[in-house]
Homo-oligomer: A and B are copies of this chain.
Amino acid sequence: MPQPSSYVPDRPEPILVVTTGGTIDKVYFDASSEFAVGESVVGEVLRQAQVRRPFELLAVLRKDSLELSDADRTRICAAIEARPERRVLITHGTDTMTETASALARLGDRTIVLTGSLAPARFAQTDAVFNVGMAFAAAQVLSPGVYIAMNGEVFEAGRVRKDRQRNEFVHC
């Protein structure tokens, strides 16, 4: 079960916010009639939410998660490993979020929360902002481990899967 870290409220540790692509960052390019991952808007989400807790943005990839290779997952792990932050939020496509979560399990001693969204952040109606909020809070209070925040739930990675019929994340 999820455990908090030794959290000292008055010296807030910066949260590392890693973006890798996914639906959350998809944008429509009218000129080419293309709907693809664009520049991440996660920083803008945090700005609009008037976040005062320090964070660092790190754009590692801009891929649909169905296109992530093992090499890509290795890159994501390496990017996090090279950083001092112990608390990490990763935005990621939902289709293979659980696979990347598995790859991250080996990075002990860090609280890592993955999230993404079923509707792009740039849409008027979206789950993106709520999900980033969930993950940003979860990353602050949970103890080391890997987690997924989707559909209003904070799951331990390894205990969740994306149910493709219902297009939602469920316990397993």
The answer, yes or no, to whether A90 is at the interface (CB within 8 Å) is no
- On whether the beta carbons of B153 and A53 are closer than 8 Å, the reply is yes
With A and B bound together, what is the CA distance between A151 and B127 in angstroms? Answer: 19
Chain A residues bordering chain B, tally (CB within 8 A): 67
B residues less than 8 Å from A143 (CB atoms): 4
Once the chains bind, are A4 and B7 in contact (CB under 8 Å)?
A: no
Contact residues in B for A154 (Cβ distance below 8 Å)? 137, 140-141
A153: which of B6, B52, B126 is its contact (CB, 8 Å)?
B52
Interface residue from B4, B124, B152 paired with A141 (Cβ < 8 Å): B4
Copies of this subunit? 4
Inter-chain contact A124/B124, CB cutoff 8 Å: yes
**CB-contact partner of A122 in B33, B124, B127, under 8 A:** B124
Q: Name the B residues within 8 Å of A123 (CB-CB).
A: 28, 122-124
Is A61 an interface residue, CB under 8 A from the partner? no
B124 and A51 within 8 A (CB) = no
Q: How far is the CA of A26 from the CA of B50 in the complex (A)?
A: 18
User: Interface on A for B, CB 8 Å cutoff?
Assistant: 1-4, 6-10, 12, 23, 26, 28, 30-31, 33, 35, 45-46, 48-53, 55, 64, 66, 94-95, 118-120, 122-127, 129-138, 140-143, 149, 151-156, 159, 164, 167-171
